[in-house]
Amino acid sequence: MLLIVIVVVIVLVFAGDSGKTPKNPTSTSSGVQSTGGAHPPAADVSITSCDVDSATSFPSAKLEIVNHSSKPSEYFIDVEFVDVSGTRVAEGAAILNHVAPGEKAEDTAGGLAPVSGKITCKVTSVDRISVVG
């Protein structure tokens, strides 16, 4: 099961890579101010639920993304899963392609390690890259 999750993540990471460097990427990470104007990329993402699968013990964070920019964009979102003591116990990611301006999209960032007990989910970085064309 873990091997399947890892293979899917690798495929998703490389599937959207065109080999070109974007002209004006806009990104933010925890504690870093973006130059994205009134709507920095992190403001586009919210966590709607944070759970641990009872069968697999893998954590997941359901995400809602609203593209507040004026151009279709791709999103690269990193999430961490933290236990009650404040220790990061797993990480996950989500990749969304071609989210239109004003469009709302949903995705899930799944953790790649089993966890136990109660967790909290936190978005640690959001990269929003305008799609040309």
pLDDT tens for 37-52 read: 678 999 999 999 999 9
38 in any annotated domain: yes
At 27, is the pLDDT very low, low, confident or very high (cuts 50, 70, 90)?
A: very low
| Among candidate residues 14, 21, 32, 29, the one with its CA nearest the CA of residue 130 | 21
Q: Residue 19 to residues 16, 22, 25, 73, 102: CA-CA distances in angstroms?
A: 9, 9, 14, 17, 27
22 in any annotated domain: no
21 in any annotated domain: no
Question: Lowest-pLDDT range, 11-25, 38-52, 111-125?
Answer: 11-25
pLDDT score at 36 = 52
43-101: pLDDT as tens digits: 999 999 999 999 999 999 999 999 999 999 999 999 999 999 999 999 999 999 999 99
User: Using CB atoms within 10 A of its CB, is residue 31 exposed (0-12), middle (13-18) or buried (19+)?
Assistant: exposed
pTM: 0.72
Note down the domain range covering 68: 2-16+27-130
**CATH number for 31:** 2.60.40
Number of domains, the chain:
1
112 in any annotated domain: yes
126 in any annotated domain: yes
In order, the DSSP letters of 55-106 are TT--EEEEEEEE--SSS-EEEEEEEEEEETTS-EEEEEEEEEEEEPTT-EEE
DSSP-assigned letter for residue 3? H
76 in any annotated domain: yes
